[in-house]
């Protein structure tokens, strides 16, 4: 039970070393410093920076989307908070222009709600997704709050609460014109949220795009799925759940700490990460600043993790990965049975990566079988050749192969 406290103590002890390493890297690497002219200065600067980046704390990055170039025209972008709940903020990226013709086009663009995963990384992991969507859409995104920053007075946060949050955000934006994109983990609560709305006779979004999600983890189980099924639920409760230390607003809240999640991420491909850090060191020695900066950008995002509420995490392990309640038709949210066949007026697009090692082949496509009330012509599936998990929503394949299909699909059902 003291693991989180020990981690914080270790961070406190390591802090002076990382500050010293950062300062030393700058002293030996800055062009104006006399130390940079000493023999071996480049090697010293590279070594110190590597030590600094291994030991430093990684805070939540900014989205940093301040402008957008569309067909040669520059549009300022303002990040606005549209709603705030204890565990999530609803953000909108609003585009501006002084040109009357361009303004009309922007107003006519369809609204899209991107539901970001609450599974370790911050919503900024979808920065490329948001930036690309902004070319043709009004974009909203769920920005999940680090659970260690939420006081215990705000109560627990469960998977049922997650579903409720999604429904509230859909209603606030307006379901009648909305398109919902869920990336990875939220495909399950998003499908539940829209199913329950449809069963109640509420308006549902025009379309839902589900990307690399665990709708039915019995299909092509991955190493992630196997871990969840090989261990009983009590093992997760006793091994990975810890109380937040006293130096955070959420003191005493039970969470799955971000540092443990990060260790799990690194353990999946340790050789790849070790090689990446060695390549970074070599790039600094060679003066290859572009590749070195790419490394910094990637790990600034990858190493920034958040704590997940224990109730939500354990619900997800049990409901999604162990008992498969959604595909078995046995999931109840706040006493209401989740029935995806109730959805009839929302088009469906599922997307999977050929090389996805987190959500295996067929896990997302399973939504087509469950959503039997959607007409066949309103259901599409895309398998992205050569793409891993992250490639379907970020990077070159997302921009050149996936996004054109998403844009076309949304336009078809935008009315």
Q: pLDDT digit string (tens) for 125-137? A: 999 999 999 999 9
Q: Are residues 280 and 230 in the same domain?
A: yes
> What is the band of 1 on the pLDDT scale with cuts at 50, 70, 90?
low
pTM over 0.75: yes
Q: Are residues 328 and 179 in the same domain?
A: yes
Q: Of all residues in the chain, what percent carry a pLDDT higher than 90?
A: 72
Q: Are residues 42 and 71 in the same domain?
A: no
Q: Are residues 338 and 400 in the same domain?
A: yes
Q: pLDDT digit string (tens) for 16-36? A: 999 999 999 999 988 888 888
Q: Is the pLDDT of residue 330 over 80?
A: yes
- Residue 235 in any domain: the answer is yes
- Residue 381 in any domain: the answer is yes
- Residue 60 in any domain: the answer is no
3-state secondary structure labels for all residues of the chain:
CCHHHHHHHHHHHHHHHHHHHHHHHHHHHCCCCHHHHCCCHHHHHHHHHHHHHHHCCCCCCCCCCCEEEECCEEEEEEEEEEEEECCEEEEEEEECCCCHHHHHHHHHCCEEEEECCCCCECHHHHHHHHHHHCCCCEEEEEEECCHHHCCHHHCCCCHHHHHHHHHHHHHHHCHHHCEEEEECCCHHHHHHHHHHHHHCCCCCCCEEEEECCCCCCCCCCCHHHHHHHHCCHHHHHHHCCEECCCCCCCCCCEEECHHHHHHHHHHHCHHHHHHHHHHHHHHHHHCCHHHHHHHHHHHHHHCCECCEEHHHHHHHHHHHHHCCCCCCCCCEECCEECCHHHCCCCEEEEEEECCCCCCCCCCCCHHHHHCCCCCHHHEEEEEECCCCCHHHCCCHHHHHHHHHHHHHHHHHCCC
Listed ranges 227-236, 264-273, 334-343; the one with the highest mean pLDDT: 334-343
Q: pLDDT digit string (tens) for 79-111? A: 999 999 999 999 999 999 887 777 787 889 999
Residue of higher predicted confidence among 261 and 138:
138
Q: Are residues 82 and 210 in the same domain?
A: yes
- Residue 378 in any domain: the answer is yes
- Residue 199 in any domain: the answer is yes
Q: Are residues 243 and 194 in the same domain?
A: yes
At 221 the pLDDT is: 85
Q: Are residues 200 and 305 in the same domain?
A: yes
Q: Lowest mean pLDDT of 2-6, 126-130, 144-148, 392-396, name the range.
A: 2-6
Q: Are residues 13 and 134 in the same domain?
A: no
Q: Are residues 49 and 73 in the same domain?
A: no
- Residue 62 in any domain: the answer is no
- Residue 352 in any domain: the answer is yes
Residue of higher predicted confidence among 228 and 387:
387
Q: Lowest mean pLDDT of 73-77, 220-224, 336-340, 368-372, name the range.
A: 220-224
Q: Is the pLDDT of residue 413 over 90?
A: yes
Q: Are residues 42 and 174 in the same domain?
A: no
Q: Are residues 9 and 86 in the same domain?
A: no
Domain extent, residue 113, equals 67-413
- Residue 61 in any domain: the answer is no
Q: How many domains does the chain have?
A: 2
Q: Are residues 111 and 36 in the same domain?
A: no
């Amino acid at each position: 039970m003291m693991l989180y406290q020990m981690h914080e103590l270790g961070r406190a002890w390591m802090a002076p070393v990382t500050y010293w390493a950062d300062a030393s890297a700058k002293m030996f690497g800055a062009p104006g410093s006399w130390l940079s002219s000493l023999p071996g200065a480049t090697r010293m600067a590279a070594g110190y920076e590597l030590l600094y980046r291994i030991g430093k704390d990684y805070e939540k990055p900014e989205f940093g989307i301040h402008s957008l170039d569309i067909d040669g025209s520059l549009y300022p972008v303002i990040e606005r908070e549209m709603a705030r709940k204890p565990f999530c903020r609803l953000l909108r990226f609003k585009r501006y222009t002084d040109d009357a013709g361009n303004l009309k086009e922007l107003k006519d663009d369809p609204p899209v709600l991107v539901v970001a995963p609450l599974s370790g990384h911050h919503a900024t992991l979808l920065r490329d997704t948001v930036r690309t969507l902004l070319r043709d859409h009004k974009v909203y995104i769920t920005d999940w709050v680090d659970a260690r920053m939420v006081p215990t007075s705000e109560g627990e946060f469960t998977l049922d609460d997650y579903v409720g949050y999604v429904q509230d955000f859909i209603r606030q934006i307006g379901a009648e014109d909305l398109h919902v994109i869920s990336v990875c983990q939220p495909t399950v609560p998003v499908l539940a949220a829209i199913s329950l709305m449809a069963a109640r006779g509420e308006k549902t979004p025009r379309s839902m795009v589900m990307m690399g999600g665990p709708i039915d983890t019995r299909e092509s189980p991955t190493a992630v799925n196997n871990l969840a099924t090989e261990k009983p639920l009590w093992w997760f409760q006793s091994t990975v759940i810890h109380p937040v230390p006293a130096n955070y607003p959420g003191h005493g809240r039970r969470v799955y700490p971000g540092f443990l999640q990060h260790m799990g991420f690194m353990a999946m491909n340790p050789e790849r990460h070790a090689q990446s850090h060695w390549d970074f060191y070599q790039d600094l020695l060679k003066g290859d600043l572009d590749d070195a900066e790419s490394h910094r950008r990637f790990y600034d995002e990858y190493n920034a993790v958040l704590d997940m509420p224990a109730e939500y995490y354990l619900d997800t392990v049990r409901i999604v990965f162990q008992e498969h309640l959604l595909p078995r038709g046995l999931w109840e949210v706040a006493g209401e049975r989740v029935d995806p066949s109730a959805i009839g007026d929302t088009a469906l697009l599922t997307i999977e990566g050929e090389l996805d090692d987190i959500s295996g082949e067929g896990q997302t496509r399973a939504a087509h079988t469950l959503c039997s009330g959607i007409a066949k012509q309103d259901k599409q599936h895309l398998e992205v050749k050569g793409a891993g998990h992250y490639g379907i929503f970020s990077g070159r394949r997302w921009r050149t192969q996936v996004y054109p299909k998403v844009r076309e699909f949304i336009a078809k059902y935008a009315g």
